[in-house]
Structure 1
Protein backbone atom coordinates (compact mmCIF):
# COMPACT_ATOMS: atom_id res chain seq x y z
CA UNK A 1 0.00 0.00 0.00
CA UNK A 2 1.77 3.06 -1.26
CA UNK A 3 -0.54 5.89 -0.21
CA UNK A 4 -2.58 6.98 2.76
CA UNK A 5 -5.65 6.54 0.56
CA UNK A 6 -4.69 2.91 -0.09
CA UNK A 7 -4.33 2.29 3.65
CA UNK A 8 -7.70 3.92 4.46
CA UNK A 9 -9.40 1.81 1.80
CA UNK A 10 -7.62 -1.34 3.08
CA UNK A 11 -8.80 -0.73 6.65
CA UNK A 12 -12.34 0.07 5.56
CA UNK A 13 -12.66 -3.05 3.41
CA UNK A 14 -10.94 -5.26 6.00
CA UNK A 15 -13.60 -4.17 8.49
CA UNK A 16 -16.37 -4.65 5.90
CA UNK A 17 -17.50 -1.04 6.07
CA UNK A 18 -19.00 1.21 3.46
CA UNK A 19 -17.67 4.72 3.03
CA UNK A 20 -20.90 5.95 4.59
CA UNK A 21 -20.38 3.77 7.68
CA UNK A 22 -16.80 4.99 8.05
CA UNK A 23 -18.02 8.54 7.65
CA UNK A 24 -20.61 8.07 10.38
CA UNK A 25 -18.05 6.50 12.72
CA UNK A 26 -15.39 9.14 12.21
CA UNK A 27 -17.44 12.25 11.44
CA UNK A 28 -15.34 12.66 8.26
CA UNK A 29 -17.36 13.59 5.16
CA UNK A 30 -18.13 10.55 2.95
CA UNK A 31 -17.10 12.43 -0.17
CA UNK A 32 -13.76 13.25 1.41
CA UNK A 33 -13.24 9.57 2.28
CA UNK A 34 -13.88 8.72 -1.37
CA UNK A 35 -11.38 11.37 -2.46
CA UNK A 36 -8.74 10.05 -0.01
CA UNK A 37 -9.23 6.48 -1.21
CA UNK A 38 -8.95 7.59 -4.84
CA UNK A 39 -5.84 9.63 -4.02
CA UNK A 40 -7.45 12.87 -5.16
CA UNK A 41 -6.21 14.66 -2.05
CA UNK A 42 -4.71 13.90 1.34
CA UNK A 43 -6.73 14.08 4.55
CA UNK A 44 -6.32 16.88 7.07
CA UNK A 45 -4.49 16.12 10.31
CA UNK A 46 -7.86 16.01 12.07
CA UNK A 47 -9.21 13.44 9.60
CA UNK A 48 -6.02 11.35 9.95
CA UNK A 49 -6.40 11.39 13.73
CA UNK A 50 -10.08 10.42 13.60
CA UNK A 51 -9.55 7.59 11.11
CA UNK A 52 -6.52 6.22 12.97
CA UNK A 53 -8.42 6.32 16.26
CA UNK A 54 -11.46 4.64 14.72
CA UNK A 55 -9.39 1.73 13.37
CA UNK A 56 -7.04 1.64 16.35
CA UNK A 57 -3.90 2.12 14.25
CA UNK A 58 -1.10 4.61 14.72
CA UNK A 59 -1.23 7.88 12.82
CA UNK A 60 2.35 7.13 11.77
CA UNK A 61 1.28 3.91 10.07
CA UNK A 62 -1.72 5.57 8.45
CA UNK A 63 0.42 8.39 7.06
CA UNK A 64 3.62 6.53 6.14
CA UNK A 65 2.78 2.83 6.10
CA UNK A 66 5.57 2.29 8.62
CA UNK A 67 4.79 1.08 12.12
CA UNK A 68 5.92 2.98 15.17
CA UNK A 69 8.96 1.07 16.41
CA UNK A 70 8.00 1.59 20.04
CA UNK A 71 4.69 -0.22 19.53
CA UNK A 72 5.94 -2.96 17.24
CA UNK A 73 7.85 -6.10 18.11
CA UNK A 74 9.72 -8.92 16.45
CA UNK A 75 7.26 -11.75 15.67
CA UNK A 76 9.99 -14.35 16.27
CA UNK A 77 10.13 -13.22 19.91
CA UNK A 78 6.46 -13.98 20.51
CA UNK A 79 5.14 -17.08 22.24
CA UNK A 80 3.33 -19.35 19.71
CA UNK A 81 0.03 -18.92 21.58
CA UNK A 82 0.38 -15.14 21.41
CA UNK A 83 0.93 -15.39 17.66
CA UNK A 84 -2.33 -17.34 17.35
CA UNK A 85 -4.19 -14.80 19.49
CA UNK A 86 -2.85 -11.93 17.39
CA UNK A 87 -3.78 -13.68 14.16
CA UNK A 88 -7.32 -14.31 15.40
CA UNK A 89 -7.68 -10.74 16.70
CA UNK A 90 -6.34 -9.17 13.50
CA UNK A 91 -8.89 -11.07 11.42
CA UNK A 92 -11.88 -9.84 13.44
CA UNK A 93 -13.97 -6.85 12.45
CA UNK A 94 -14.09 -3.84 14.75
CA UNK A 95 -17.27 -4.92 16.57
CA UNK A 96 -15.94 -8.40 17.29
CA UNK A 97 -12.60 -6.97 18.47
CA UNK A 98 -14.51 -4.85 21.00
CA UNK A 99 -16.46 -7.88 22.21
CA UNK A 100 -13.32 -10.01 22.57
CA UNK A 101 -11.48 -7.30 24.49
CA UNK A 102 -14.42 -6.81 26.83
CA UNK A 103 -14.61 -10.57 27.49
CA UNK A 104 -10.87 -10.65 28.22
CA UNK A 105 -11.15 -7.68 30.59
CA UNK A 106 -14.11 -9.25 32.39
CA UNK A 107 -12.22 -12.52 32.76
CA UNK A 108 -9.11 -10.80 34.12
CA UNK A 109 -11.14 -8.79 36.62
CA UNK A 110 -13.03 -11.90 37.74
CA UNK A 111 -9.74 -13.77 38.24
CA UNK A 112 -8.37 -10.72 40.08
CA UNK A 113 -5.52 -9.98 37.67
CA UNK A 114 -4.43 -6.42 38.32
CA UNK A 115 -3.34 -5.21 34.88
CA UNK A 116 -5.83 -2.41 34.19
Structure 2
Protein backbone atom coordinates (compact mmCIF):
# COMPACT_ATOMS: atom_id res chain seq x y z
CA UNK A 1 0.00 0.00 0.00
CA UNK A 2 1.28 3.43 -0.92
CA UNK A 3 2.08 5.80 1.92
CA UNK A 4 1.23 9.49 2.09
CA UNK A 5 4.73 10.34 0.92
CA UNK A 6 4.54 7.85 -1.95
CA UNK A 7 1.27 9.38 -3.13
CA UNK A 8 2.58 12.95 -2.96
CA UNK A 9 5.70 11.99 -4.89
CA UNK A 10 3.74 9.93 -7.43
CA UNK A 11 1.35 12.78 -8.26
CA UNK A 12 4.13 15.37 -8.27
CA UNK A 13 6.16 13.32 -10.75
CA UNK A 14 3.05 12.50 -12.81
CA UNK A 15 2.44 16.24 -13.21
CA UNK A 16 6.14 16.75 -13.95
CA UNK A 17 6.59 19.17 -11.06
CA UNK A 18 9.89 19.38 -9.19
CA UNK A 19 10.03 19.43 -5.40
CA UNK A 20 11.13 23.04 -5.61
CA UNK A 21 8.16 24.00 -7.80
CA UNK A 22 5.70 22.20 -5.53
CA UNK A 23 7.26 23.78 -2.46
CA UNK A 24 6.93 27.25 -4.00
CA UNK A 25 3.31 26.69 -5.06
CA UNK A 26 2.32 25.36 -1.62
CA UNK A 27 4.29 27.81 0.49
CA UNK A 28 6.38 25.02 1.97
CA UNK A 29 10.13 24.60 1.98
CA UNK A 30 11.87 21.98 -0.14
CA UNK A 31 13.11 20.38 3.09
CA UNK A 32 9.55 20.07 4.44
CA UNK A 33 8.29 18.58 1.19
CA UNK A 34 11.21 16.17 1.00
CA UNK A 35 10.48 14.97 4.54
CA UNK A 36 6.82 14.43 3.62
CA UNK A 37 7.77 12.41 0.56
CA UNK A 38 10.19 10.23 2.52
CA UNK A 39 7.63 9.81 5.31
CA UNK A 40 9.98 11.34 7.87
CA UNK A 41 7.30 13.90 8.74
CA UNK A 42 3.56 14.27 8.26
CA UNK A 43 2.06 17.52 6.94
CA UNK A 44 -0.28 19.53 9.12
CA UNK A 45 -3.86 19.88 7.82
CA UNK A 46 -3.22 23.21 6.10
CA UNK A 47 -0.11 21.89 4.33
CA UNK A 48 -2.02 18.77 3.28
CA UNK A 49 -4.78 20.97 1.83
CA UNK A 50 -2.24 23.07 -0.09
CA UNK A 51 -0.55 19.96 -1.49
CA UNK A 52 -3.90 18.44 -2.52
CA UNK A 53 -4.95 21.68 -4.22
CA UNK A 54 -1.72 22.10 -6.17
CA UNK A 55 -1.63 18.42 -7.18
CA UNK A 56 -5.33 18.61 -8.15
CA UNK A 57 -6.33 15.72 -5.91
CA UNK A 58 -8.17 15.16 -2.65
CA UNK A 59 -7.03 14.61 0.93
CA UNK A 60 -8.62 11.18 1.15
CA UNK A 61 -6.44 9.98 -1.73
CA UNK A 62 -3.27 11.37 -0.16
CA UNK A 63 -4.18 9.78 3.18
CA UNK A 64 -4.82 6.39 1.55
CA UNK A 65 -8.55 6.33 2.29
CA UNK A 66 -9.40 5.98 -1.41
CA UNK A 67 -7.61 5.13 -4.63
CA UNK A 68 -9.54 7.80 -6.53
CA UNK A 69 -7.13 10.70 -6.97
CA UNK A 70 -9.63 13.02 -8.65
CA UNK A 71 -10.47 16.18 -6.76
CA UNK A 72 -13.79 15.82 -4.98
CA UNK A 73 -15.58 18.79 -3.60
CA UNK A 74 -19.05 17.95 -2.41
CA UNK A 75 -21.45 20.61 -1.28
CA UNK A 76 -23.09 18.83 1.62
CA UNK A 77 -23.79 15.61 3.47
CA UNK A 78 -26.47 14.60 0.96
CA UNK A 79 -23.95 14.90 -1.88
CA UNK A 80 -21.46 12.82 0.10
CA UNK A 81 -24.09 10.10 0.63
CA UNK A 82 -24.98 10.04 -3.06
CA UNK A 83 -21.32 9.87 -4.02
CA UNK A 84 -20.71 7.00 -1.59
CA UNK A 85 -23.78 5.16 -2.85
CA UNK A 86 -22.77 5.46 -6.50
CA UNK A 87 -19.13 4.59 -5.87
CA UNK A 88 -20.22 1.22 -4.48
CA UNK A 89 -19.94 -1.36 -7.32
CA UNK A 90 -23.29 -2.94 -6.45
CA UNK A 91 -25.28 0.27 -6.07
CA UNK A 92 -23.40 2.03 -8.84
CA UNK A 93 -24.82 -0.56 -11.24
CA UNK A 94 -28.08 1.40 -11.00
CA UNK A 95 -26.48 3.76 -13.47
CA UNK A 96 -24.91 1.58 -16.11
CA UNK A 97 -21.28 2.54 -16.60
CA UNK A 98 -21.15 5.07 -13.75
CA UNK A 99 -17.89 3.86 -12.26
CA UNK A 100 -16.06 4.09 -15.60
CA UNK A 101 -17.77 7.26 -16.84
CA UNK A 102 -15.95 10.57 -17.34
CA UNK A 103 -16.40 13.08 -14.53
CA UNK A 104 -18.89 15.21 -16.52
CA UNK A 105 -21.15 12.19 -17.09
CA UNK A 106 -20.86 11.23 -13.41
CA UNK A 107 -21.96 14.73 -12.41
CA UNK A 108 -25.01 14.46 -14.67
CA UNK A 109 -25.91 11.06 -13.20
CA UNK A 110 -25.54 12.36 -9.64
CA UNK A 111 -27.78 15.32 -10.46
CA UNK A 112 -30.42 12.98 -11.88
CA UNK A 113 -30.31 10.77 -8.79
CA UNK A 114 -30.63 13.84 -6.55
CA UNK A 115 -33.71 14.85 -8.55
CA UNK A 116 -35.28 11.40 -8.11
CA UNK A 117 -34.55 11.35 -4.38
CA UNK A 118 -35.99 14.86 -3.97
CA UNK A 119 -39.20 13.82 -5.75
CA UNK A 120 -39.55 10.74 -3.55
CA UNK A 121 -38.68 12.21 -0.16
CA UNK A 122 -42.23 13.16 0.86
CA UNK A 123 -43.95 10.14 -0.68
CA UNK A 124 -45.69 7.93 1.82
CA UNK A 125 -45.55 4.10 1.70
CA UNK A 126 -48.05 2.74 -0.82
CA UNK A 127 -48.51 6.12 -2.50
CA UNK A 128 -48.10 6.07 -6.28
CA UNK A 129 -45.47 8.23 -7.94
CA UNK A 130 -46.76 11.69 -8.81
CA UNK A 131 -49.66 11.62 -6.30
Unaligned runs of at least 5 residues, structure 2: 73-79, 104-131
State the TM-score, normalized to the length of structure 1: 0.58
By percentage of residues, which structure has more helix? 1
Cα displacement (A) at 1:63: 1.2
- The aligned counterpart of 1:28 is 28
1:42-84: CA deviation from partner (whole Å, max 9, x where unpaired) = 11111100011112211111112414772774698438xx85x
Q: How many residues align?
A: 83
What CA RMSD, in Å, does the superposition of the two structures yield over aligned residues?
Answer: 2.8
Which residue of the partner structure matches residue 3 of structure 2? 3
Larger radius of gyration between Structure 1 and Structure 2? 2
- The verdict on how the C-alpha distance between 1:15 and 1:65 changes in structure 2, with shifts beyond 3 A counting, is farther
2:97 pairs, out of 78, 92, 103, with 78
Q: Which has the higher contact order (CA 8 A, sep 6+)?
A: 1
- Note if contact 1:52-1:59 (Cα within 8 Å) is conserved in structure 2: yes
TM-score (norm 2): 0.52
Unaligned runs of 5+ in 1: 87-116
- Contact kept, 8 Å, 1:4 with 1:65, in 2: the verdict is no
